[in-house]
Amino acid sequence: MPRSGAKPAIPFVIWLLVVVSLVRWRQGSIYSGGADPVVVIKALIQCVALLVAVVVLIRTRERQPLGGRSLGLLLLIVAVSAIGAYAQGNTEASAVLAIRVVLLAATVIVVLLSFPARLAVTSLLAAMAVVGAFSAITGLGLMLSGGRLGGGIPPLSPNDIASLCGLPALGVLHEIVHGRASGRLLVIFAGLSGLVLATGSRTAIFALVAAMLVVLLQVRRPPIAVAAMVLVAVPAIFAIIAYTPTLANIVNRGDSASLVTLNSRTISWEAVLEIPFDTWERWVGSGLSVKQIAVLGQYWDEQVFDSSWISALAQAGLVGAALLALWVARTSWDSLRTPQLGTFTNGALLFILFRSVTENGLVDASVDFVVFFTLSVLLEKASARPFHPADHGPVGPKDHLAKAP
C-alpha cells in the first residue's frame, strides 16, 4: 500500500476501536484487578485494533520513519511503576494496566508507521468526535432536566465528553483558519464547541479557549472571512462575559457544592505529597492501578487523585514523575521549534497539559494518553530530521492538517 494510496477509512476504524475500548462503559468504577464481561470485551476490542493495525503495516510497502525517545521514556515510567507495584504487593491490577498502556503505545506506533502524519492525526480526532458527540446526543435528557451534559451511550461523564470533543473542535478551527473555511466546517466547529460548553467542564472550557487563542495567534495571513469572523466574535464574547452571568455560571456551575471540588482534590494531593521519603512508595510509587488514596479527617475514606501529575507521583514515585516531566518538557520544546507541526500541536498540547493538572490520563489507558503519545512521537520524528516538502505530512503552516496527503 503506497503512501499516497492510504485509505482514510482504515486509520479511522482503528482509532474508533481504540477510543471505544478506552472510554468508560460504566460510571463510578475503578479497576482493581480481576476480569468481568466489560473488562474482557474492552480488552478484546483493543486487541482487534492492534491486530488490524499490524495487518495494515504488513501490507504497507513504504513506512514512515519514527524515533524511539517517546517510547523509551514511556517504557521507563511503566517499568518504574511495575517495581513500585511489586514492592507494595499490587502486581495483578497494575500489571494488567501496564500491559494495556504498552499495547496502546504499540498500536500508535504501528499506525504512525503505516500512515502519513496528517491522516493519522485527523483520523484520531474524527474518531474522538464521533464517540463524544454520539454519547452527548444520546445523553441530552440529563441536560434538559437541569443537569450538565452527560453521556447516554456510552455513559460518559461531562468531563469525558468535553475531552473527546475539545481537541476535534481545535482541529477543525485549525482547518478553518489555515485556508479551508467552509460552511460544513463552521457547523462542525460550532457543534463541537457547543457540546464542550454544555458539559460545564470548567477546566476543559478554559483549556480549549486558551488553545484556540494559541492557534489563532499563530496565523500569519488569515483568510478574509476568518479575520472578519474574529473581529465580530471578539466584541460579542466580551459583551457576553461582561454583561451576562455566563462566566459566573460556568465557574460556579449553579451550585455551591461545585466550589469545593478543587479543595476535595487537594486532600488527596496532600496525602500523596506527605508520603515519607524513606519509603519505596515515595521513590517508585505503587503501580498504575493506584487511582485513589485513603484520607483522614473526612466523612469519606478514599479520594481519587484527579491529577495526572499526582497520579504519576503515586503510581511511579518521584523517579516516574521526573521522567514524565522530562518527557512533557521535551515534547513541548519540539513543538515550539517545529513550526510546520506547531501550528496545531502547540494548542493541542496546551489543551492536554492544562487539563492534566486537574484530570487523570496522561500516562494511563486513556484517550488523553493516546493523543499525547501520538503527538509526542510525531514531533520527535519531525524534529529529528530536516523537513522536506515530499513528506506526506504538513507542508507548511498554511497546509498542515489542511491539505490532503
CB 16: neighbour CB atoms within 10 A?
20
Q: Provide mean pLDDT across the span 144-170.
A: 89
Does some domain include residue 398?
Answer: no
The per-residue b/e assignment along 177-196, b for 16 or more CB within 10 angstroms, e otherwise, is bbebbeeeebebbebbbebb
What torsion, rounded to 10 degrees, do the Cα atoms 346, 352, 353, 355 define? Answer: 140
Place of cell 496502546: 104
CA dist., res. 161 & res. 134, Å (int): 10
pLDDT class of 181 with cuts at 50, 70, 90: low
Nearest by Cα to 262 from 117, 155, 375, 359: 359
What DSSP assignment string belongs to 35-94?
--HHHHHHHHHHHHHHHHHHHHHHH-SSPPP--SHHHHHHHHHHHHHHHHHHHHT-HHHH
Q: Provide mean pLDDT across the span 296-320.
A: 83
Three-class secondary structure of residue 167 per DSSP = helix
Q: Provide mean pLDDT across the span 90-114.
A: 95
Does some domain include residue 399?
Answer: no
Given a cut of 90, whether residue 402 has pLDDT beyond it is no
Given this model, what pLDDT does residue 88 score? 92
Place of cell 507494595: 88
Q: Provide mean pLDDT across the span 329-353.
A: 94
Report which residue type is found at 101: V
The H-or-E segment that residue 341 falls in is helix 339-356
Given this model, what pLDDT does residue 394 score? 37
Higher pLDDT, 390 or 243: 243
Determine contact, residues 154/135, Cβ cutoff 8 Å. yes
Given this model, what pLDDT does residue 146 score? 66
Q: Provide mean pLDDT across the span 277-294.
A: 90
pLDDT digits (tens, 9 = 90+) for 25-51: 887 677 766 778 998 999 999 999 999
Does some domain include residue 204?
Answer: yes
pLDDT digits (tens, 9 = 90+) for 356-383: 998 998 999 999 999 999 999 999 876 6
Given a cut of 90, whether residue 283 has pLDDT beyond it is yes
What DSSP assignment string belongs to 215-240?
HHHT-SS--HHHHHHHHHHHHHHHHH
The H-or-E segment that residue 304 falls in is strand 302-304
Does some domain include residue 241?
Answer: yes
Determine contact, residues 371/211, Cβ cutoff 8 Å. no
Determine contact, residues 181/187, Cβ cutoff 8 Å. no
Given this model, what pLDDT does residue 35 score? 78
φ and ψ of 302, to 5 deg: -135, 150
Does some domain include residue 229?
Answer: yes
Higher pLDDT, 309 or 261: 309
Nearest by Cα to 31 from 287, 268, 285, 289: 289
pLDDT class of 279 with cuts at 50, 70, 90: very high
CA dist., res. 149 & res. 8, Å (int): 31
Three-class secondary structure of residue 303 per DSSP = strand
Given this model, what pLDDT does residue 227 score? 64
Q: Provide mean pLDDT across the span 177-187.
A: 81
Given this model, what pLDDT does residue 392 score? 38
Task: Quote the cell numbers at residue 397.
Answer: 503552516
Given this model, what pLDDT does residue 271 score? 85
Range of the domain at 369: 3-384
pLDDT digits (tens, 9 = 90+) for 228-262: 666 666 666 656 555 555 555 555 654 444 444 55
Determine contact, residues 182/173, Cβ cutoff 8 Å. no
How many structural domains is the chain composed of? 1
Percentage of the chain exceeding pLDDT 70: 78
Query: pLDDT averaged over the chain?
Result: 84
Higher pLDDT, 157 or 144: 157
Does some domain include residue 396?
Answer: no
The H helix count followed by the E strand count for the chain is 16, 2
Place of cell 523517579: 319
Nearest by Cα to 358 from 274, 265, 279: 265
What DSSP assignment string belongs to 237-302?
HHHHHHHSSHHHHHHHTTSGGGGGHHHHHHHHHHHHHTS-TTSHHHHH-S-TT--EEE-SSSSSSE
Determine contact, residues 133/165, Cβ cutoff 8 Å. yes
Does some domain include residue 336?
Answer: yes
Higher pLDDT, 222 or 153: 153
Does some domain include residue 390?
Answer: no
Determine contact, residues 196/204, Cβ cutoff 8 Å. yes
Q: Provide mean pLDDT across the span 276-292.
A: 92
Report which residue type is found at 308: S
**HSE value, Cβ hemisphere, 13 Å, CA-based, for 405:** 21
pLDDT class of 404 with cuts at 50, 70, 90: very low
Higher pLDDT, 236 or 18: 18
